[in-house]
Structure 1
Amino acid sequence: MWATVSSRADRWAIPLWAGFAALNTVLMWVLPGAETIPFHLIWISLALVYGVRPWPLPATFAVCACVAVVTGIPLFRHAHSQVIALEETAEIPLMSTLFLVMVWHVRRRTAAVAEARLAASRERVAHEMTERFVRIATHELRTPLTVARGYAEMLQVDTSDPELAADVGVVVEELGKLSRITGRLAALAWAHQDTSDDARTLDIGALLRQVARRWAPVANGAIHVEAVPITVAGDEERLETALDCLVENAVLHGRAPILLRAEHDAATVVIEVEDNGAGIPSGRATELLHGVVSPASSGSGLGLMIVRGIVETHGGGIALVPSPSGGLKVVITLPGILRYATTSATTQAGS
């Protein structure tokens, strides 16, 4: 609706200006001595109408020259009649130059906006192509990997040769890694999708306890939760996936116990996943969040990229900081607290 109204205004801008300029030109002739007021109104209105609807450069020069001539004739006539001083005719080249400078700035801004839109369009197309490639690749890889792993596990069970069984075990392990990477690639593409349609109210404290219970057997029960019941708006499935990735990283690369904590202030929910592992070297936090894996790293780096994508689609942020114990603490901040509970709870999963 607004676009339609704006388009109509653009179409009527030039005719309305032409009528306004013609009226002020007449006033310049009939008001000797006061002609500078309609003179400046003509040039000001010309600048305004050009800002609303820029013209091609040849038409711009032609209009500028025409206005200079039409407004200049009465000025020279009144100067010749000694109604005004001859110096006042200097307004003609000055206003023409000022208008052309404005035209130069408008054209530069228009070109910059067009370039920015083109860059944004290219980035969007590249992002869509990347997502499409990831979806197709993960879909096509999942079935053959599952089949290959199934046959390898059968060979491992059926063979009576210990050396062959060990070799097949290596194949099974590597196929398992490929399957996990494939699943994380699919999650990475899914993590960056808009969450607004799936958002609902959920209790972050309950979600942390749910994640802790699921991972308790893997962590030998050494996973703790410290959280108040905080109600926020979000996609529960995606936030649970993000927490799963963080706990999995803590289990694989950290040392027990693992602590899940949730707090809040006036406008922010803070979720922390802390382990007692070796931590990360200084300066590696940004690289890890962007999936840059060092040659000495044993992981793919996809887990933290998935977490970052999910958190950012919820309007939040993520940071990696050293924990007091020397391990790694992942701090997630989420906006949009709806209501708080004043009681706190500290639970140990599996207890």
Structure 2
Amino acid sequence: MSGDAPFDLSPWRVALIYAAFGFLWVATSDSLVEGLPNHELIQTAKGWLFVGLSALLVYALVDRSQTELNRTSKRLESTLAHTSVLHRILRHDIRNACTAILGYAELVESRDDADANTDPVEAIRHRANRLVEVSDEVALLRTVELAEGNEVDVDLSCAVADAVDDLEIEHSAVRVSVTSPETLTVRAHPALPRSIAELLDNAVVHADCDEPKIHVAVWQLGEVVGVTVTDNGPGIPDAEREALLSGSETPLSHTSGVGLWLVRAIVDASGGSLDISTPKAHGTVVTVSLPRTA
């Protein structure tokens, strides 16, 4: 949430502001007009002026209230979308992982029909590590929502360089090329560097070849800056792409993980937009666009 709390424009406060304005107007204007010539004409003009100023005041108060209402509605929609994702994770990802762990645990027991090609201990370790990763991503998703409105200066060029270094250390076979200015700063959510790392990691995890290729471009177009990640993977299924871009999941349209939802949450909290395209040839192009606030 923003550090500057929105001004409370409840009905009683609006009425109080209007009443105070009316009282001050009557008290001051009558005393000023009373000793002037053409008293009645000035009183009429004063009345019309009061009507005009009252209309402007009411408009300003209602407009401010509507703005706050729209902002609250947007936060509510975002919260509902995140809740849908968390519900799907609990229902699908964690349940499946726990079922697999229980199945592999049975393989540890001495059985004649155990699959000799499966290392149950390694399989359990893999599934357990995945549960830890999902738990961390869910916790970060909640943190992003709570910290929405708190912006810091983020150097996109530096964030991309750090993410690429970490990726190449963890995945030695991946080939990453980068096009970026020496520095490009933007005001954004503090977790924005994490979203870039998630995009790179997602490109590697879902790669269908031995040597994944990724190109990262940091760019600026007028007052808009961004990061574009292009990979040579299998592409994002249409259902997942539709869910991410629409901001809501349905029983027939949902994502398979938390990573891209985390990216969307961070980008939304930064006042930016997320675009995902799948070229006809192969691969995926993900673009994060952000306003470059001075």
Alpha-carbon spacing, 1:25–1:176, altered in 2? closer, same or farther (3 Å):
farther
The match for 2:235 is 279
Maintained 8 Å contact 1:184/1:302: yes
- Aligned match of 1:223: 175
Aligned to 1:253: 206
1:1-351 mapped onto 2 (5 Å cutoff): 11-19=23-31, 27-28=39-40, 37-38=41-42, 40-48=44-52, 50-51=54-55, 116=66, 119=69, 123=73, 159-161=109-111, 172=124, 175-194=128-147, 199-200=152-153, 202=155, 204-216=156-168, 219-228=171-180, 229-234=182-187, 238-255=191-208, 256-280=212-236, 285-289=241-245, 290-292=247-249, 295=252, 299-323=255-279, 325-336=281-292
| CA displacement at 1:248 relative to structure 2 | 2.6
- Unaligned segments of structure 1, at least 5 residues: 29-36, 54-105, 138-144, 339-351
* Larger Cα-atom Rg: 1
Per-residue deviation, 1:328:
1.0
Instruction: Indicate the SS of the match to 1:226.
Output: strand
Larger fraction in helix: 1
Q: Is the 2:274–2:288 Cα contact (8 Å) retained in structure 1?
A: yes
- Counterpart of 1:239 in structure 2: which amino acid? L
Q: Distance in 1 between matches of 2:18 and 2:130?
A: 57
Deviation of residue 242 (structure 1)?
0.5
- Aligned sequence identity (%): 14
- C-alpha spacing 1:126/1:264, structure 2 compared with 1 (3 Å): closer
Shift of 1:320: 0.6
Q: Deviations over 1:238-265 (max 9, x none)?
A: 2231022212322233342222222334
Larger relative contact order (Cα-Cα within 8 Å, sequence gap ≥ 6): 2
Give the deviation of 1:174 after TM superposition. Answer: 5.1
* Deviation larger for 254-263 or 189-198: 189-198
- Give 2:9's aligned residue: none
Task: Work out the CA distance in 1 between the residues paired with 2:242 and 2:273.
Answer: 12
**C-alpha distance 8-158 of structure 1, shift in aligned 2 (>3 A):** same
Change (3 A) 1:225 1:269: farther
* CA gap 1:211/1:50 in 2 versus in 1, 3 angstroms: closer
Q: Normalising by structure 2, report the TM-score.
A: 0.62
The unaligned stretches of length 5 or more in structure 2 are: 1-16, 88-94
Q: Kindly tell me: are residues 120 and 336 of structure 1, through their superposed partners in 2, closer, same or farther at Cα, counting changes over 3 Å? A: closer
**Compared with structure 1, are the counterparts of its residues 293 and 320 closer, same or farther at alpha carbon in structure 2 (3 Å cutoff)?**
farther
Q: Secondary structure at the match of 1:326?
A: coil
Structure 1 counterpart of 2:48, one-letter code = I
| Shift of residue 275, structure 1, vs aligned partner | 1.6
Task: Measure the CA separation in 1 of the matches of 2:170 and 2:203.
Answer: 11
**In structure 2, what is the Cα distance between the partners aligned to 1:246 and 1:217?**
16
Write the letter of the residue equivalent to 1:303. G
Deviation string, structure 1 residues 146-165 (Cα, Å, up to 9, x no partner): xx99x979958964447568
User: Cα deviation per residue 1:301-329 (whole Å; 9 max; x = unaligned)?
Assistant: 43222112222333322211224742210
Q: TM-score, normalised by structure 1?
A: 0.54
Give the conservation status (yes or no) of the 8 Å contact 1:212–1:223: no
Shift in Å, 1:13: 1.3
Does the 8 Å CA contact 1:279/1:327 hold for their aligned counterparts? yes
Give a deviation string over 1:100-155, Cα, whole Å, max 9, x none: xxxxxx6xx69966974785697489589879x99xx9xxxxxxx9xx99x97995
User: What displacement does 1:232 show?
Assistant: 0.8
8 Å contact kept, 1:225–1:260: yes
CA distance in 2, matches of 1:168, 1:114: 60
